Structure 1
Amino acid sequence: MRLNKRLPAALSGLLLSTALLAGCSTSGTDETTTTTVSSAAASTTTSTSSDSSSSSSSDSSTTAETISNTAEAAQAFLATLSTEEQDAVLYDYDAEEKSTGWSNFPVTFVQRSGVNLTDLTEEQQAAALNVLKNLLNNDAYQMIEDIMASDQYLNDESNTTEDSLGQYYIAFFGDPSSDSDWSIQFGGHHIGINATFSDGAITFAPTHLGTQPSEWTNEDGETVAALSNMYETAFAFYDSLTEEQQAQLYQGEELDSMVCAPGSTCDYPTGTGLKGSDLTDEQKELLLDVIANWVGLADEETTETELDAIRETLDDTYINWSGATEYDTSTGDGIYFQISGPKVYIEFANQQGSAGADIDGVITAGWGHIHTIYRDPTNDYANSVTQEAASGMMGGGPGGNGGEMPSGDMPTGEMRSGTPSGAPSN
């Protein structure tokens, strides 16, 4: 059987593999579909946040193992597809779509590369997700599950009218093989993973991770907080600073907007804030803990290799921060921080709006709505393509609103920051 085009319900079955991880509504979902997709997602250990591990994810400890296992899983996925479906998934390694086919927006507004999981059978969906399981470490895969569960929850419980929430695409660029360069792209609303395998190395630059709401309670009374570790490591770094260092770091109460929105071109700003050379060795390691939220998605060797390269350039890296200075989600609008150096560029931005998706008793704006971007100024896509604006209606949402679509009260036909008026926010 083929799954309903409304993927939120279909993917909720997939997330049930973690014992109703999200507690999402499955009304309208065929019971057989739910069971099959649940089984296909593998027997993951029950977990409710990205702080917990999932035994079904990759157990690779080296880069070579991750590359080999992921390529094998990718070939197994391709074997489940028809010729037409394979054509939809496969691109040339240097195809322009690699840089234009991802964004933070729902899939309605930015065309994605590859095949929509909605259009696949349960077996094919499971095989597609098995690619991610072999690519990502336990915590990273759990985080992706939690982001998807949060989108499902947003779809089910909020007043949003956007019906493409929870839809995800997968694409391969090049021939999945341990011996050749190739890339995986997986994404949808608040997910844009670009993993490139080149010359025996793995890079996740560029990658977008976001979530909304950032914290909520499932029907079992358990907290789901997909990106909580980003908050925790960021404030651990902030709290380690002296008053003088914080004064250099801090840019003010008003939150900055994202400069390099997901799926957009940009010049990397630098020179603002606290310089890495002014940090102690302990503070540098705490900063690397923050950075590891993005570069540490795969095995230990891949993570340490990337962190070592960034560590060598930390003295020339700048960090700036605006917004709240205490981790208290009950007050204020959240935080913004930017890490900009020769080898790493990261932005974390709480979005100042619920994106037209309000839920009684749940924070869906500010602290509750997160956008992030990770890029490597020296090695995006392993230098296989140059970043172009995302395809679709708004070119990935570059501009001063951090990739947010404007609110629906704008005059018809008026546009701001490259986004269409009247469209739902992301």
Structure 2
Amino acid sequence: MNATSRFPRWIAVTTGLLLCSTAFILAYAQRPESRRGGASVVDEPYVGIVTSSGPQDDLYSIESSGVTTQPVRVAAEKFLEGLTEQQRERTVFPVDDNEWRKWDNRHRSPRQGVGFDEMTDEQRSLALNMLGQSLSAKGLKKTQDIMKLNGTLAELANNFDEYGEWLYWITIMGKPSETEPWGWQLDGHHLVINYFVLGDQVVMSPVFMGSEPIEAKQGKFQGTIVMQDEQDKGLKLIQMFSNDQRSEAILMDRKDGNNNLTEAYKDNMVLDYAGIVGSKLDDGQKESLLRLIEEYVGNMRKDHASVRMSEVKQHLDETYFAWIGGTTEQSVYYYRVHSPVILIEFDHQRRVAPFRTSEPTRDHIHSVVRTPNGNDYGKDLLRQHYHSHTH
């Protein structure tokens, strides 16, 4: 079902729901038939995800976080040293290159950089060490488990050309440096991480994490499972709400189709706030909301995650929580957390491979984390850096 055929469903919603979900309707109307309308979208001037009021200024600044990024830099340097000259030539891009914006969470997409599938064992070890120095232990495990489940999907679909544990690519943007901006990107099916570094500051977004299936019930990676905490903590929060709070938070009580709005090629989405605002939550509900956000932010290395969470807490009363779908232990649903400084989407999707389904299922999950108001890929920090330094 395409965006146009969804639109009448929204019109049928009650007036109150229409008012709180205007942004949702407009966003769907803007959604292209194929996000791979690629180059033209990526070449548009970057604005970032903003509300219809426009960008909110002065949210981000270049300042010391007090957390060293040296281990990440050293690991990236060693990774690059371990590549052949030919591999390095197609792996390194300028720090302000549009290559950042060409990521795609789908399996059929041209990729740049060096793929894990072509790496030697030593090169893979160096690549994983770079990820390990950037991410928390939980974040690294989740990353590797998503890669493994892409291998499980290859087994289920009997298609090892389009799916597989090692069909993921790394690019380096800029030159790893103590003072100059640089970063890295991991790009592949159901797993995309953009990691920007400036001095001791880190911006890790956009991040896409998901899987189909979410659990390997047989095969090489039997027992691997992902995205359960993201799923369960969202459900726990909505179940804590009173009836009046639910009436504000729930945009639609039936989930029909795929609802994520800010996946690939959606860097300039205009998306208004919807749902219930944090200032209307009690202390226990606010704590549950923070734990939910921390589940995503906590994929970063611990100390940098703490810095990021301090940003989030400053805007907690301005943070909106929106929901689509049921609220039982068996329900499928979508939720969104949206504040001036963080945007999180979680979505139960239809099955795609190897057997398509018409209804969403808990066995196919997508999640996206963004930094609204112009700082995905560290763009706002990069802009400020260029403003104060000659390049």
How far apart, in 1, do the equivalents of 2:114 and 2:310 lie?
A: 35
How far apart, in 2, do the equivalents of 1:63 and 1:150 lie?
A: 36
Q: Tell me which residue corresponds to 2:191.
A: 191
2:382 aligned with 1:382: no
Q: Tell me which residue corresponds to 1:302.
A: 304
How far apart, in 2, do the equivalents of 1:241 and 1:282 lie?
A: 10
Indicate the structure whose relative CO is greater, using CA pairs within 8 Å and at least 6 residues apart: 2
Q: Tell me which residue corresponds to 2:349.
A: 351
- Unmatched tracts of structure 1, length 5 or more: 1-61, 387-426
| 3-state DSSP of counterpart to 2:288 | helix
Q: CA contact under 8 A between 1:63 and 1:299: conserved in structure 2?
A: no
Task: Give the drift of 1:159.
Answer: 5.3
Cα distance 1:179–1:164, how it changes in 2: closer, same or farther (>3 A)?
same
Q: Tell me which residue corresponds to 2:180.
A: 180
Q: CA contact under 8 A between 1:103 and 1:208: conserved in structure 2?
A: no
Task: Give the drift of 1:222.
Answer: 6.3
| Sequence identity (%) | 24
Equivalent pairs counted in the alignment come to 313
Q: CA contact under 8 A between 1:259 and 1:266: conserved in structure 2?
A: no
Task: Give the drift of 1:93.
Answer: 0.6
How far apart, in 2, do the equivalents of 1:113 and 1:311 lie?
A: 36
Task: Give the drift of 1:356.
Answer: 3.0
Q: 1:271 aligns with which of 270, 273, 276?
A: 273
Q: Tell me which residue corresponds to 2:17.
A: none
How far apart, in 1, do the equivalents of 2:79 and 2:160 lie?
A: 33
How far apart, in 1, do the equivalents of 2:381 and 2:109 lie?
A: 19
Write out aligned runs for 1:129-140 (5 A).
129-140=128-139
Q: CA contact under 8 A between 1:218 and 1:224: conserved in structure 2?
A: no
* 1:333-372 deviation per Cα after TM superposition (whole angstroms, max 9, x unaligned): x1101112211111111112x213139xxxx961110111
How far apart, in 1, do the equivalents of 2:247 and 2:204 lie?
A: 32
Q: CA contact under 8 A between 1:93 and 1:384: conserved in structure 2?
A: no
Report the AA paired with residue 126 of structure 2: A
| 3-state DSSP of counterpart to 2:366 | strand
Task: Give the drift of 1:283.
Answer: 1.3
Write out aligned runs for 1:204-215 (5 A).
204-215=204-215
Cα distance 1:63–1:196, how it changes in 2: closer, same or farther (>3 A)?
farther
* 1:23-72 deviation per Cα after TM superposition (whole angstroms, max 9, x unaligned): xxxxxxxxxxxxxxxxxxxxxxxxxxxxxxxxxxxxxxx9734x111111
Q: Tell me which residue corresponds to 1:154.
A: 153
* 1:129-151 deviation per Cα after TM superposition (whole angstroms, max 9, x unaligned): 11111111111111111111111
Q: Tell me which residue corresponds to 2:46.
A: none
How far apart, in 2, do the equivalents of 1:219 and 1:168 lie?
A: 20
> RMSD over aligned Cα, in angstroms?
2.5
Cα distance 1:78–1:160, how it changes in 2: closer, same or farther (>3 A)?
closer
- How does the TM-score come out when normalised to structure 2? 0.74
Cα distance 1:376–1:221, how it changes in 2: closer, same or farther (>3 A)?
closer
Task: Give the drift of 1:231.
Answer: 1.0
Q: Tell me which residue corresponds to 1:326.
A: 328
- Unmatched tracts of structure 2, length 5 or more: 1-64, 383-391
Write 1 or 2 for the structure with the bigger share of helix: 2
* 1:227-278 deviation per Cα after TM superposition (whole angstroms, max 9, x unaligned): 1110121122122211211121112212462221234334242232111111
How far apart, in 1, do the equivalents of 2:221 and 2:379 lie?
A: 45
| 3-state DSSP of counterpart to 2:324 | strand
